[in-house]
Amino acid sequence: MGIELRGTAASPGIGLGTARTVRMPDLDFSAVPFRGETAEQTRLEEAVRLFLLRTEDMAQALGEELGGEAVGILTAQRMMLEDPALRDALRRAIQEGACAEAAVDRACGLFRDRFAGLEDPYLRQRAADIEDLRRRMLALLLGQEETDLTALPPDTVLVLHELTPSMTAGLDRDHIAALVAETGGAAGHAAILARALEVPAVLGIPGALDHIPDGTPLAVDGGSGTVLLDPDGRQQADFQARREHWMADRAGLEAYRREESHTADGRPIAVLANLSRPADAEAAARACAQGAGLFRTEFLFLDRAVPPAEEEQYRAFCQAADQLPGRKLVLRTLDIGGDKSASCLGLEPEADSFLGHRGIRWCLDHPDVFRTQLRAVLRAAAERPGLRLMFPLVDGLEELRAAKDLLAECRTELETEGIPVPRDLPVGIMVETPAAALTADQLAREADFFSIGTNDLIQYTLAVDRGNARVAKLYTPCHPAVLRLLRDILSAGRAAGIPVCLCGEAAADPRLTPLLLAFGLEEFSVSPPSILPLRRRLAVWTMEEARQVAREALERSAAQEIAAYLERVLRA
């Protein structure tokens, strides 16, 4: 029997191969002397120049190979190094007598620790990005080459401390069977990169480099988070059979890479993509998404000292639309607060940020920031007719009307300035609070479309903080209250004749597919990797079968009973 190590399931699939351990280079700079302020500033600027140049080359290579997510990570590193606050910290350290290496170590360490202490998981991930930036800059200053993984033997299982974007540039994908890392979580950038590479990955195994000698035979299950060292004959055969099944299943998804989606009895269903930055639209286009049901605009406000100008936002919106020409692209206005923060906006800490100053509430109270974004949207929509506008966390008609009034003022401003605006820009809302769900019939009279955000809707309906591990087991889309709200929102949209999309995580939950179909959902919006699996699930169900499953599910009164029933249906 092989020795089993357990970690975080980060990228699904089965991998069999031989361990190739990759250790981080020695970045000790204690012997580097201080050569004077001018010399150290010159050395620093040359390293920055090389970093930006190489990062641009990597981003281009990764964009061609992996698409938007990987490029976005590298872009974030570039933006960090260009951030005035970090550059000032580097200069000050050298002025105080630090060599360029010590300045990089000190400044990056300070920013890394700040991000690591934040509650927002997205911003916490920036700590890993800064640490990668620190290591890369030190390697440049010390004259060390970056880890070269361009020529690997077949069936290599990479075992490393952490998978970084710089490692993936030029990576020999065809010869990698799996990835095993000591750090990283399912939502981190290492997991994003592994999924983009379509390589099975298990992360978060402390001491993996010590436990796994170079050349060890390994069997990796990226779906369960297990790694077997020296599997015996029976285990080897079991993993090989599972790998063949996984590869056949993945190949079968290619049949669903088409422009249209439908149920087994021919009912057309739109499968759209959720996007977090313009580069994500590339991955959506490759999966033949029928558009984007949610384009989050928060990325424009992160990792910077001042908010983005109108021109920058306008270009970003046009860039995303150009990746999905002629298709729907729903821009959600700034949804800040809750689990998302942006230092450039000066948000004040709140005792319970999820119930506080966030979403449309914050935007209406900061009209200067909101106007800038609305003007950028109007300009982009005049040139890209597929664009739609959506307001987050709307509780009632007062907020919707106030936001639409501000939009009308921006339209008038642009027209007065002689700048083209769209004749008709569809305006919708996110339905993600019980208040909005229970007044959906009223909101549907003044909104052009609904998008259901189940992540927050579940949280608010069940009074469960989805980031609190103590109550995580109570957070479920299978609660009867949640299912009834979904049914009623869709009913209100249908009665008013407006389209309704679901863009929360429930849209990709295979247990809920028949229920959502039965409730009348005709637009699903999911992350790009979930598009093909969703299309395959939709093609299995007839509407009558879906309605029967919904009837039986709603007859049950407890969330656990509903979940168990839906899981049995899924396995059947």
Catalytic residues: 189, 503
- Residue 564's CB is within 10 A of a number of other CB atoms, namely 13
Q: Beta-carbon neighbour count of residue 234 at 10 Å? A: 9
| SS3 label, residue 319 | helix
Strands 8-11 and 270-275: unpaired
Residues 559 and 120: their CA atoms lie apart, in Å, by 28
Give the residue among 88, 139, 133, 130 at the shortest CA–CA distance from 111: 130
Adjacent-strand bridge partners of 388:
330
- With CA atoms as reference, report the closest residue to 158 among 354, 319, 30, 11: 11
- Start-to-end Cα distance in the chain: 32
Measure the CA–CA gap between 523 and 108, rounded to whole angstroms. 44
d(CA 90, CA 367): 35
Number of C-beta neighbours around residue 468 at 10 A: 11
Residue 526: how many CB atoms within 10 A of its CB? 27
Measured CA to CA, the distance from residue 405 to residue 501 in angstroms comes to 24
Q: Which tokens hold the place of 186?
A: 């399912």
CA distance linking residue 466 with residue 344, whole number of Å = 26
CA–CA distance, 219 with 217 (Å, rounded to integer) = 7
Beta-bridge mates of residue 158:
20, 179
Q: What single DSSP character describes residue 34? A: P
Query: What whole-number distance in Å separates Cα of residue 441 and Cα of residue 450?
Result: 11
Cβ atoms of 205 and 163 within 8 Å: the answer is no
Centroid of chain to Cα 547: 32
Q: What amino acid is encoded at 453 in this protein?
A: G
Task: Give Cα 79 to chain centroid, integer Å.
Answer: 18
> How many distinct helices (H) and strands (E) make up the chain?
22, 16
